[in-house]
Amino acid sequence: MQKRPFLSIVIPTYNRPKQLATCLEACSRLDYPHDRYEVIVVDDGGVEPLDDVINRFHSRLRLKLLRQENAGPAAARNRGASGAGGEFLVFTDDDCVPAPDWLETLAARFVSWPNCAVGGGTFNALAHNRYATASQLLISYLITYYGSVPGRAQFFPSCNLAFPTKWFRDIGGFDVSFPRSAGEDRELCDRWQQRGHQMIYAPEARVLHAHHLTVTTFFRQHFHYGCGAFHYHFLRSRQRRQPMRIEPFPFYVNMLIYPFKIIPFGKAMRIAPLLIASQVVNAAGYFWERAKGKKFPTGSSYVTAGADGRS
């Protein structure tokens, strides 16, 4: 690449200054010309001050801090995108550590496919934490399941996901009716493809995800995923004017088999019960959200709120 595209990294954060500092340290060491990328941190109404963290990196990064009242990660990502100057938007999370060649790899993909979204490879940084391992295995399974047809990937998590800026803004960004980080990336990927755009997988564009989980936070996370899944299926059925559908039975069978294909048998035996439990809790969240009878706006929330996540 003789002329590298200018990229905007968008990082939403909420009360995690230590994790953010680690992420920014990795961003400052990227093997990409520092005059060809910027980093936009969006403080989603956190109470812990970030000024000391941001000031530490001003001399090493083209860095911008934006603040908003707490509105959730979808709105925070949109807020960051609204102030971005890059040709392409690269989203990650404050508890992620990008590999040194992360931007170089994504940029190479965009040079070849400038109108496609690109999802990178996300890997668990906490191998000793079985709850984090189980959670990451589920994400990896979803990427494998929905990306089984080469060149026709359907889903990537927002911790390692990039878009052409123009087209991201054109479709309205993330749907801000998702209050938590649970389903908004899946909905955006689905809407992106509904608008005729493609997604490609770049597993070599790696980030390490260091999301420490306990038994309590693991089950809370998957309960929220279930709530987000109902929200996603509800919106999808309304947009396509078709009945709500969930994944077929083989989807869940293959999910339980998946760990035995990629990690040692003994470790897979310890993880498999967590996968089963996660799906029970996920179903509880799904039916809890359904039982609430929540009503969504007549218009699509990503249109009514606008691309910057503000009403």
DSSP reduced 3-state for 98: strand
DSSP reduced 3-state for 39: strand
Give the integer Cα–Cα distance in Å for 177 and 230.
12
Q: What per-residue confidence (pLDDT) applies to 309?
A: 34
Give phi and psi for 192, each to the nearest 5: -55, -45
Residue 302 belongs to some domain of the structure: no
The domain total for the chain is: 1
Range of the domain at 114: 7-213
Q: Which residues of 286-297 are buried (b: 16+ CB within 10 A; e: fewer)?
A: beebbeeeeeee
Give the integer Cα–Cα distance in Å for 198 and 151.
8
Residue 127 belongs to some domain of the structure: yes
Residue 79 belongs to some domain of the structure: yes
Residue 94 belongs to some domain of the structure: yes
Residue 66 belongs to some domain of the structure: yes
Q: What per-residue confidence (pLDDT) applies to 245?
A: 76
Residue 152 belongs to some domain of the structure: yes
What single DSSP character describes residue 62?
-
CATH classification of the domain holding 129: 3.90.550.10
Q: What per-residue confidence (pLDDT) applies to 25?
A: 98
| For the chain, the helix, strand and coil percentages under 3-state DSSP, each to the nearest 5 | 50, 15, 35
Residue 103 belongs to some domain of the structure: yes
Contact 102, 177 (CB under 8 A): no
Please name the residues in contact with 295: beta carbons below 8 A apart, sequence gap of 6 or more: none
Q: What per-residue confidence (pLDDT) applies to 311?
A: 26
Residue 91 belongs to some domain of the structure: yes
For residue 197, give both structure tokens. Answer: 């755009």
Please name the residues in contact with 113: beta carbons below 8 A apart, sequence gap of 6 or more: 198, 200
For residue 137, give both structure tokens. Answer: 């295995």
For residue 50, give both structure tokens. Answer: 């970030």
Residue 113 CB neighbour total at 10 angstroms = 16
Q: Per-residue pLDDT for the chain (311 aa), expressed as one digit of tens each?
A: 568 999 999 999 999 999 999 999 999 999 999 999 999 999 999 999 999 999 999 999 999 999 999 999 999 999 999 999 999 999 999 999 999 999 999 999 999 999 999 999 999 999 999 999 999 999 999 888 887 565 667 889 999 999 999 999 999 999 998 767 778 999 999 999 989 999 999 999 999 999 999 999 999 999 999 999 898 888 888 877 777 777 888 889 999 999 999 999 999 999 999 999 999 999 999 999 888 875 544 334 443 333 333 32
